[in-house]
Amino acid sequence: MAEISLVKKGAQLELEIERLVFGGRGLAHHDGFVVFVDGTLPGQKVSARVVKKRKGYAEARVESILRRSARQVEPQCVHFGECGGCRFQHYAYEAQLAAKLGQVVESLEHIGGFSNPPVLPVLGSPEPFYYRNKMEYSFGRQRWLCREEIENDQLAKPKDFALGLHVRGRFDKILDLDTCYLQSQLSVDILNFVRDFAKESGEHPYTTVDHTGYWRHLVVRDAKQTGDLLVNVVTADHKDHDLLVGVLAKKLLQAFPQITTLVHNINRRKAQVAIGDSERIIYGPGTITEKIGDCTYQISANSFFQTNSLGAKILYDKVLDFAGFGENDLVFDLYAGAGTISIYAARRVRQVVGFEIVTDAIKDAQMNCGLNEVTNCSFVAGDLKSSLVAKEAVAAYGTPDVLLIDPPRAGMHPDVLNQVQILAPGRIVYISCNPTTFARDVQILCDTKYELAQVQPVDMFPMTPHIELVSLLNRC
Ligand SMILES: C[S@@+](CC[C@H](N)C(=O)[O-])C[C@H]1O[C@@H](n2cnc3c(N)ncnc32)[C@H](O)[C@@H]1O
């Protein structure tokens, strides 16, 4: 008689969580099936209900914890469990690092096809809390109703106004944060002040549903090394911004003399991004200065910058270490952003050429070269798919000795990978914030000309499932 599987949609199962997989879900086995359970930790025994069944695996939702994990700790934040920010505050930091190492190794083995990949233990963040130099909060008309207020029937706050972070998996709901362990207490105080003002202003949060409302985002950039503090208020358009953001700015500057610059971005589009079509500088220079190691960087409200300044030093030092630069080396820095790594490397080599699609980032990069008295960096604007046409780049600058590659989460486009293979430098240092696309890309490089020599994960995002890594590929 054929066996009937117990893993069916709606079934309640007792599961032993074995480990965390990419994205931070717990993995268990039941009845020959892999079952993924969100919000669980290795070592926990849980009662969970199957919500999805596919060929070979299922997904289940936790109903109760039957046994705690030995590495479980008390979360510090009252919003833990509901906020999309810190998902692992209840997991000992050393255990988080071990889980992240497992995810990098697993990606390289399963996606990249490497056996025993050369992955070093994860380097932890110097600060596991309050490490972010940038927080982007959202306004919303649908406040998430917290467990506690529902249980205690204390629905005192209005339901149609919130400023905070998205609830995990719910892009329509905003958790009205009044505390946070990711940035600084000052950032949280500014958040609470702005919310109180906006609520009293008579204007609603913006909604994409009918493209109405005013308040859209609040961005706080808090330089950890210099104390500079940028506040960026993002709104929709309005006939009288001075009555709204203008008054808010005056009050904020009075209440928080620590603010060194205040800007207003106006986003007239439907896209829910904190980048405006136009920016008004209301106070100060419109930029902040931050340091990584002994390099100084000027950052505007909208430019990309590593969010963990102290972690970035560890990451960039590893880049220098792996690259083993010589003073005659020509280096191509692909996906250069505001030239942060180019500038960090420049003093050790003959020349760096950075390639970047965002022209404003290139302007920042050029300005940052001046700030650091770096004269041997140049930048090429454009999409790498066409700007790194190997023949043209080589004709203009020569054949690079080292490539630094730091793509977005999606990894390298096949056309870029192709060009990299044509350039074929002796060493490639690949930096990635996504072990799965990294594993895919290095497999392609290692199938032809390269050997994966070392991988160093660096934890830039404590309390979250994310991990950054630096790797060295040597040409065979
Ligand atoms: C992860 S960031 C790296 C930034 C920089 N290396 C740093 O450490 O600050 C990726 C960068 O790639 C750029 N980018 C994304 N797609 C690109 C493309 N097709 N061509 C050129 N640059 C691209 C983005 O604008 C972004 O600045």
The residues lining ligand 1, judged by C-beta closer than 6 Å to any ligand atom, are 304, 306, 335-337, 340-341, 355-358, 361, 383-385, 406-408
**Which residue from 152, 132, 302, 138 is spatially nearest to 213, judged by alpha carbons?**
138
Residue nearest to atom 1 of ligand 1 (CA): 408
Q: How far is the CA of 374 from the centre of ligand 1 (A)?
A: 21
> Which of 83, 433, 446, 476 is an active site residue?
433
Q: How far is the CA of 300 from the centre of ligand 1 (A)?
A: 16
Rounded Cα distance, 104 and 102, in Å: 6
Residue-range domain boundaries for the chain: 12-67, 134-292, 308-475
Residue nearest to atom 19 of ligand 1 (CA): 383
User: Around 328, how many Cα atoms within 13 Å sit in the side-chain half-sphere?
Assistant: 1
Rounded Cα distance, 133 and 48, in Å: 37
Q: Residue 432: is it exposed, middle or buried by C-beta count within 10 angstroms (0-12/13-18/19+)?
A: buried
Which residue of 309, 315, 335, 388 sits with most ligand 1 atoms within 8 Å of its CB, as the best mutation to test the pocket? 335
Rounded Cα distance, 144 and 149, in Å: 10
Which atom of ligand 1 is nearest the CA belonging to 316? 8
Residues 41, 17 contacting (CB under 8 angstroms): yes
| Candidates 2.40.50.1070, 1.20.1090.10, 3.10.129.10, 1.10.3680.10; CATH matching 134-292 | 2.40.50.1070
Fold type of domain 308-475: Rossmann fold (3.40.50)
State whether CATH 2.40.50.140 applies to domain 12-67: yes
For 60-85, the DSSP string reads: EEEEEEEE--TTB---S-TTTTTBSS
Is the fold of 12-67 the same as that of 134-292? yes
Centroid of chain to Cα 271: 19
pLDDT at 388: 76
Q: What are phi and psi of 319, to 5 degrees?
A: -60, -45
**Given the DSSP bridges, would you call strands 427-432 and 468-475 parallel, antiparallel or unpaired?**
antiparallel
Residues 198, 163 contacting (CB under 8 angstroms): yes
Which residue of 305, 334, 356 sits with most ligand 1 atoms within 8 Å of its CB, as the best mutation to test the pocket? 356
pLDDT at 1: 44
Strand partners, 345: none
The secondary element (H helix, E strand) that includes residue 163 is strand 162-167
pLDDT at 168: 78
Per-residue pLDDT of the chain (476 residues; tens, 9 = 90+): 444 567 889 999 999 999 999 888 999 999 888 999 999 999 999 999 999 998 889 999 999 999 999 999 999 998 898 888 899 999 999 999 999 999 999 999 999 999 999 999 999 999 999 999 999 999 999 887 776 666 665 666 777 899 999 887 777 889 988 889 999 999 999 999 999 999 999 999 999 889 999 999 999 999 999 999 999 999 999 988 888 999 999 999 999 999 999 999 999 888 877 787 889 999 999 999 999 999 999 988 888 899 999 999 999 999 999 999 999 999 999 999 989 999 999 999 999 999 999 888 899 899 999 999 999 999 999 999 987 777 888 999 999 999 999 999 999 999 999 999 999 999 999 999 999 999 999 999 999 889 999 999 999 999 999 999 999 999 99
pLDDT at 2: 45
3-state class (DSSP) for residue 367: helix
Respond yes or no: is residue 77 known to be catalytic. Answer: no
pLDDT at 244: 94
Tokens standing for 111? 């996606």
Q: How far is the CA of 385 from the centre of ligand 1 (A)?
A: 12
pLDDT at 55: 85
pLDDT at 5: 67
Q: How far is the CA of 383 from the centre of ligand 1 (A)?
A: 10
**Given the DSSP bridges, would you call strands 26-30 and 45-54 parallel, antiparallel or unpaired?**
unpaired
What pTM value is reported for the model? Answer: 0.91
